[in-house]
Amino acid sequence: MSKLPRDMTDITAGIVQFDVKTGDISANLESATAGLQKLGNLGVQMAVLPEMWASGFGKPAMLRAACKKTPEICDTLRAFAADHGMLIAGSLPECDNGRIYNTMAIIDADGRIAGQYRKVHLFSFTGEHHTFTPGDRAVVCDTAFGPVGLMICFDLRFPEFCRTLALQGARMVVISAQWPVTRIHHWDTLIAARAIENQIFIAAANRVGQDKDLVYNGHSRIVAPDGTVLAAMEDGTGEAWARIHFTDLDILRSRFDCLGERMPHTYAL
């Protein structure tokens, strides 16, 4: 398949929301590919999957075993992406030098891996820092649809992190998450806030279902730079999609350029 033109002004982005079964890679891969296929049939060009969508969270032994499957899973997604001209993003377990990372892989619309991002902000409240090693940098990937910034779940609570992605040129930020129902109003609010304050599009995929005592109710969504919710899901499995007009971003920034009018010398960080 030939390379899609870069910096397209209009694309259709989608999100896939499903119940991630801990340790059951076959079931999760089936759920993910079914959702991607539905989006592909509709001509969706960019799709986001939940956090740790193939394996879920678990003990180190399970995650290390899952890491061995990650290259094969990526190959499956690469073939799908190339066949459908679809960019695909989602986080998977990665092992490197004995360490386990929560890593988002972004597969471009021609099937190449455009980049990877290791989750920087680990959620100590649930003990992620005992199992995973944090990443050490923010990542913006050059893709067929322009620069895309990558975030995972707890990263959403750090405004300076998303601002870094915007300052590095991201016009779209994709987020994979396992965000529980007890704090879902934070999720809804923070996605809108990150989009508005950085004047960017955000496509965020959350899971549903239950893992031990944690319950998840989705609320995956796509949000415009002015905070408008372009597509949203509540609870339950399924997909959602929306047309993204990047010219809307340019028009908004031309009217009032929040990024351009920053005064960083006055900010005590």
CATH number at residue 54: 3.60.110.10
* Among candidate residues 37, 36, 40, 44, the one with its CA nearest the CA of residue 10: 44
Model pLDDT, residue 7? 46
CB 148 within 8 A of CB 20: no
pLDDT of res. 8 = 57
Indicate whether 4 belongs to any domain: no
Whether the predicted pLDDT of 269 surpasses 90 = no
pLDDT of 214 reads: 93
Q: How many whole angstroms separate alpha carbon 214 and alpha carbon 20? A: 12
How far, in Å, CA of 57 to CA of 73, rounded?
17
With respect to residue 5, please indicate whether it lies within any of the assigned structural domains. no
Asked whether residue 18 is assigned to any structural domain, the reply reads yes
E strand spans, the chain? 10-17, 46-48, 87-96, 99-107, 113-118, 140-143, 146-152, 172-176, 201-205, 208-211, 214-217, 221-223, 229-232, 238-245
The SS3 assignment for 183 reads helix
- Residues 174 and 27: their CA atoms lie apart, in Å, by 24
| Per-residue confidence (pLDDT) for residue 37, from 0 to 100 | 97
Whether 253 is in a domain gets the answer yes
Of the candidates 79, 81, 103, the residue with the CA atom closest to the CA atom of residue 91: 103
pLDDT, one tens digit per residue, over 131-183 is: 999 999 999 999 999 999 999 999 999 999 999 999 999 999 999 999 999 99
Rounded CA gap, 223 and 245, in Å?
12
- In this prediction, residue 127 carries a pLDDT of 83
d(C-alpha 216, C-alpha 224), whole Å: 24
Span 12-37, average pLDDT: 97
d(CA 199, CA 255): 11
Q: What is the pLDDT of residues 191-241, one digit of tens each?
A: 999 999 999 999 999 999 999 889 999 999 999 999 999 999 999 999 999
pLDDT of residue 183: 97
pLDDT score at 6: 45
pTM: 0.94
Q: Does residue 100 lie in a domain region?
A: yes
**Hey, is 154 helix, strand or coil?**
helix
242 pLDDT exceeds 90? Answer: yes
Residue 129 has pLDDT above 50, yes or no: yes
Domain annotation covers residue 121: yes
**Domain containing residue 239:** 11-266
pLDDT of res. 175: 98
Q: Is 215 part of any domain?
A: yes
Q: Which residues carry out catalysis?
A: 51, 119, 153
In a domain, 6, yes or no: no
- Could you give the maximum distance between any two Cα atoms of the chain, in Å? 53
If pLDDT is split at 50, 70 and 90, which confidence band does 3 have? very low
Phi, psi at 53, each rounded to 5°: -65, -25
Angle between helices 25-41 and 60-84 (to 10 degrees): 20
CB 131 within 8 A of CB 115: no
pLDDT for res 1: 33
Measured CA to CA, the distance from residue 170 to residue 69 in angstroms comes to 30
Domain count, the chain: 1
